[in-house]
Structure 1
Amino acid sequence: MPDIAMKPGRCVRVEFEYIRHGTQALIASLNVATGRIDQATVGDTRTEQDLDTHLRALLAQSPEAPKIHLVMDCLNTHQSESLVRLAAELEPEPLALGVKGKSGILQSMATRAAFLTNAAHRLVVHFTPKHCSWLNQIGIWFSILVRKLLRRSSFKSQAELRAKILDFVDYFNRTMAKPFKWNYTGKPLTA
């Protein structure tokens, strides 16, 4: 059924029945210093391998960077074997990583997280605390994407959705990108 048109004093009423053409997963990297999306990957899945491919493309943009800091939430792929292996590849000396699920750095998610958060490494991951995703500025950018592109939109295919998201990333970087200004002072919100 078609949407119900806008009338004076009433916004468009969107029909709730729709045909689902599939979903897409977006992995994006926000540069907090510039406010730009440095890397965006849109695909059918968000697996450990997808994150690895995304991060390798991101790191290829700055191969000489002496230190790389990534802020991530506690999603299991953010503490994966492939991310540990990527971080280990960036170290000047080879590291013994052990065997996933059995020994060494790869033994558990806790040992992998401890390795990834070690400030002595070239690639350092900073995990936001559980239930504090608002600390991760990419979440703010995702809300912009939803408000400006996805809400009240309809896409005829996954390919169209993917193209629109990547076009929005390009548009955002050209016209809207700027560092987010934090203004929370640490004072309680109530008097």
Structure 2
Amino acid sequence: MAYGRKTPYQARIRAHIVLHAARGRSNARIARQTGLHVDTVRTWRGRFAEEGMSGLGDRRRCGRPPSFTALQTAQVKALACQLPAKTGTPLSRWSRPELAREATERGIAPALSASTVRRWLAQDALKPWQYRSWIFITDPCFRPRAERVLNLYARTWQGEPLGEDEYVISADERTSIQARCRCHPTLAPGQARTMRENHTYGRGGAVAYLAAYDVHQARVFGRTESRTGVDPFMHLVTQVTSQEPYASAKRVFWTVDNGSSHRGQKAADRLTSVLPNTVMVHTPVHASWLNQVEIYFSVVQRKVVSPNTFTDLAQVGDRLRAFEDRCNVKAQPFHWRFTTSDLDDLLTRLDRHTTDHQEESSVEPAT
């Protein structure tokens, strides 16, 4: 204990007192050598003599009586688990100061601080100031459509493995990338200083960015258009399929969401009529997260578009194309880990949650 690296400081000092006493030194001498008061030395020396090693620990202290009861704590936690609008409070969500104020106004406690509320909520990991959104599955064909997309990522189509001359393309469009010309130049980062950007800007217009991502080859094809629609999307398809190896491929699968540019069977038939070796595969409704090109768009948002500082739309297009070239040189395929087994687990949890929610809703409130 006296020389251990992980021994707490107080335990180390008390161990030194015992060792000095074992060498036959007086309390006054031990106090001088350790820099402690002689009463402190006498106390710990006596406790060790009476109780041994257990005497070197702190004794139980009664401490100050609690200021709040367990009932008050439970009432504040219960209040945090209610929506403010249900309680008549004109708030969208609770904060710690607002909870303390509401609890005081309701007479739960005569006075309550936000730090006390924070400690109480932390006991049960309650964070009423945070929120997440969700959406229920509305597509009746969610399971088979999602399974088709996931099987393509695993290089399988209708139970058969894809050949070497078959490719999977994930495509979508990103609307309204603005060209914001800052009224003052952006300051580069420096020592103890982040990059600084002027908030005032002039609008230079907006452009739509269409991109196609080869899932297994990690190749990106993109183009900028003044708007989205059927024609801009077909321009993207033509841009990709006019190049090798897609021009002479046996099949090229295009994974798209249900946007207006490529929605429904009509869009699939239009694509096949123009390019017979292409197959359009739709993700389920409200499940564009299954489309891998969305991951690429998130990378573009973080690394290229934000912060948004461009002199004109031409600079926007130049930077996007330069980033595509950079990705095509160094990028690797995304490590997609969501499989059909994960899909089944997700649907099972959602069914259980939906069933429990319906049962709770069907129970009549007690009068």
- TM-score norm. by structure 1 comes to 0.70
| 2:242 corresponds to 1:57 | no
Q: Which residue of 2 aligns with 1:84?
A: 269
Would the alpha carbon gap of residues 56 and 17 (structure 1) be closer, same or farther in structure 2, given more than 3 Å must change? same
Q: Is 1:27–1:51's contact at 8 Å kept on the other side of the alignment?
A: yes
Q: Which residue of 1 aligns with 2:309?
A: 154
Question: What SS does the aligned partner of 1:140 have?
Answer: helix
Q: Is 1:32–1:137's contact at 8 Å kept on the other side of the alignment?
A: yes
One-letter amino acid matched to 1:178: Q
Question: What SS does the aligned partner of 1:24 have?
Answer: strand
| 2:260 corresponds to 1:70 | no
Would the alpha carbon gap of residues 12 and 90 (structure 1) be closer, same or farther in structure 2, given more than 3 Å must change? closer
Q: Which residue of 1 aligns with 2:320?
A: 165
Aligned residues: 157
CA shift for structure 1 position 46: 1.6
Q: Distance in 1 between matches of 2:275 and 2:213?
A: 21
Bigger proportion of residues as helix: 2
Task: Show CA shifts across 1:98-140 (max 9, x none).
Answer: xxxxxxxxxxxxxxxxxxxxxxxx4221111222221100000
Q: Which residue of 2 aligns with 1:25?
A: 208
Q: Which residue of 2 aligns with 1:115?
A: none
Q: Is 2:222–2:324's contact at 8 Å kept on the other side of the alignment?
A: yes
| 2:337 corresponds to 1:183 | yes
Q: Distance in 1 between matches of 2:311 and 2:287?
A: 35
Does 158-167 or 55-64 show the bigger shift?
A: 55-64
- TM-score norm. by structure 2 comes to 0.39
Q: Is 1:43–1:162's contact at 8 Å kept on the other side of the alignment?
A: no
Q: Give the one of 42, 47, 64 matched to 2:224.
A: 42
CA shift for structure 1 position 153: 3.5
Structure 1 unaligned regions, length at least 5: 92-121
Considering only aligned residues, what root-mean-square deviation do their CA atoms show, in Å? 2.7
Q: Distance in 2 between matches of 1:138 and 1:12?
A: 29
Question: What SS does the aligned partner of 2:239 have?
Answer: helix
Q: Is 1:52–1:82's contact at 8 Å kept on the other side of the alignment?
A: no
Q: Is 2:271–2:280's contact at 8 Å kept on the other side of the alignment?
A: no
Q: Distance in 2 between matches of 1:83 and 1:131?
A: 19
Structure 2 unaligned regions, length at least 5: 1-182, 350-367
Question: What SS does the aligned partner of 2:202 have?
Answer: coil
Would the alpha carbon gap of residues 5 and 27 (structure 1) be closer, same or farther in structure 2, given more than 3 Å must change? closer
Q: Is 1:71–1:127's contact at 8 Å kept on the other side of the alignment?
A: yes
Question: What SS does the aligned partner of 2:333 have?
Answer: coil
One-letter amino acid matched to 1:68: V
Does 39-48 or 158-167 show the bigger shift?
A: 39-48
Q: Distance in 1 between matches of 2:284 and 2:257?
A: 7
Would the alpha carbon gap of residues 11 and 70 (structure 1) be closer, same or farther in structure 2, given more than 3 Å must change? same
Q: Distance in 2 between matches of 1:127 and 1:71?
A: 6
Which structure has the higher relative contact order (CA within 8 Å, separation 6+)? 1
Q: Distance in 1 between matches of 2:210 and 2:229?
A: 10
Q: Distance in 2 between matches of 1:148 and 1:49?
A: 28
Q: Is 1:40–1:166's contact at 8 Å kept on the other side of the alignment?
A: yes
CA shift for structure 1 position 16: 3.0
Q: Distance in 1 between matches of 2:239 and 2:187?
A: 44
Q: Which residue of 2 aligns with 1:138?
A: 293
Question: What SS does the aligned partner of 1:180 have?
Answer: coil
Question: What SS does the aligned partner of 2:335 have?
Answer: coil
